[in-house]
Copies of this chain bind each other. A is one copy, B any other.
Amino acid sequence: MRKPRRARTASFRQTATNDESGDLSSPLANSPGFLLRLAQLRTFDEFYRSFAGLGVTPAGFSVLALIAANPGVRPGTIGEELRMKPSNVAALVNMLAAAGYVQRKTDASEMRASLLHITEAGAEAWREMEQIHRETDARLMEHLTSTEREWFVALLRKFLRR
């Protein structure tokens, strides 16, 4: 039988309790860094399960999202937003271009810069992915009430200073 949930809206407390897996004492049970790592593992598991067969990684998906929403965006801007190295952005753009989702156009004012645009096929793929991503996020948050979800997102943004 599942134990009753320990964390409740009215009585959030940071205590050095053991986790629910039994008698194990976990010194990191309330460490934000440790909990963020586990949360990320759960997020990746859900993402890969949902996106299996769509041929895109979480990183590729977030790059496509920015190109879809910002026609003509530069790779450097994407790297800053997503905290990715230029070489990683370039590899992901290559992959998206090879899939026919993204086109590079040269900036007339600066010959070396490439501006990124989504193709029609890319826009269609993006709509499908966005829907699946929304469902994945909803499943990730299913243990939280709607107020807690708002707080969780707001606190993550404040944690990240965004």
Please give the residue numbers on chain A whose beta carbons come within 8 Å of chain B beta carbons, in ascending order. 5-7, 12-14, 19-21, 24-43, 46-47, 58, 62, 65-66, 68-70, 73, 77, 80-83, 130, 133, 136-137, 140-141, 143-144, 148-162
Contacts and interface: CB of A to CB of B under 8 A. Distances in A.
A54 to B, nearest CB: 15
A162 B40 contact: no
Nearest to A11: B154
Given A13-B154, A31-B137, 8 more contacts: A12-B150, A13-B150, A20-B162, A29-B162, A32-B140, A32-B153, A32-B156, A141-B159
Contacts of A80: 21
A interface: dominant SS: helix
Contacts of A32: 43, 137, 140-141, 149, 152-153, 156
Copies of this polypeptide in the complex: 2
Contact of A159 (B81, B133, B144): B144
Contacts of A7: 154-155, 157-158
A33 B53 CA distance: 19
A130 B154 CA distance: 29
Nearest to A68: B27
A160 B69 contact: no
Given A14-B149, A25-B70, A26-B69, A39 B156 contact: yes
